[in-house]
Amino acid sequence: LVAAAPDKPLVLGEYGRSSWQLLRPGSLGETGQADYLADLLLTQRLMSSQAGWPLRGELAWTLYDFPSG
């Protein structure tokens, strides 16, 4: 994509994993979800650095916010 449009920014749309174990057995849970997102952010920083495109920002968003207690 960068080669096809070198003057345009690369935008990542959406990613994520469920942490809601009550209705989705086998989901990551809150700690697993936090680890998953941290790994994704690190990967994005490394890839953007290698490609010469600065990572300008991130947005963490949740559809549902259920307390674990």
pLDDT tens for the 69 residues of the chain, in order: 778 888 877 776 777 777 776 776 777 777 888 888 889 888 888 888 888 777 777 777 777 666 665
- Give the pLDDT of residue 4: 85
Distances (CA, A) of 36 to 1, 2, 6, 46, 57: 25, 26, 30, 16, 18
CB 40 within 8 A of CB 58: no
Query: Per the structure block, which two tokens stand in for 41?
Result: 């952010």
Query: Per the structure block, which two tokens stand in for 7?
Result: 């003057």
Distances (CA, A) of 39 to 6, 25, 46, 66, 67: 27, 22, 11, 23, 23
